[in-house]
Amino acid sequence: MAVLVGKKAPVFEADAVVNGGEFVEKFSLQQYLGKKHVIFFFYPLDFTFVCPTELLAFQEKLADFEKRNVAVVACSIDSKFSHWAWLNTEKNKGGIKGVKYPIVSDLSKTISANFDVLAGEWVYDEDGSINFEGGPVAFRGLFLIDKEGIIRHQVVNDLPLGRSIDEAIRIVDALQFFEQNGEVCPANWHKGDEGMKADSAGVADYLSKH
């Protein structure tokens, strides 16, 4: 699996559903360049089990991301029509009604492949035929992209393992603290904690206090 940290986020244009039910063509993360940080996360499939808990948890914390000027965008290999149906299904029936952030359709699986989170790969057999080995869905990948379009953080979970939305917020806080203050964030840093100067004196000073 590729490490994309420090590299430009792959560029794409794709169908998406926004504001809980509006179709958008040629949705792109490029619209946020120079304006917002982006949390771009993948999930395996609509109408599954762990996935609605994650998407609803991101919605519950959406105001926390927005006050940090961070856009939250989700993506799976489902069609825009599947996204729309899921968004219009009540929570007590396994739906995610109430989710307002964009959900991208990666029906071609090219976005998942370019971010290297596709759970499988195309291989040639002895006859020269190409077949897909593995489950053709996305792992639970999450990418923090800065305003310049550079990936600054990535984490990829296997399909059964749900993510921590609080940890995603903590990482946003850490990046923004570094951007604003030029100080780095030591282990277990949380917003409001002291940072550390990135030199030997700064390390020594921080460790002497802790």
Residues belonging to the active site: 51
Half-sphere exposure of 78 (CA within 13 A, CB side): 22
Are the CB atoms for 107 and 81 separated by under 8 Å?
no
Q: Cα 36 from chain centroid?
A: 14
**What values do phi and psi take at 155, rounded to 5?**
-145, 140
CA 120 to each of CA 5, 7, 112, 144: distance values in angstroms, whole numbers, following the listed order: 21, 23, 11, 23
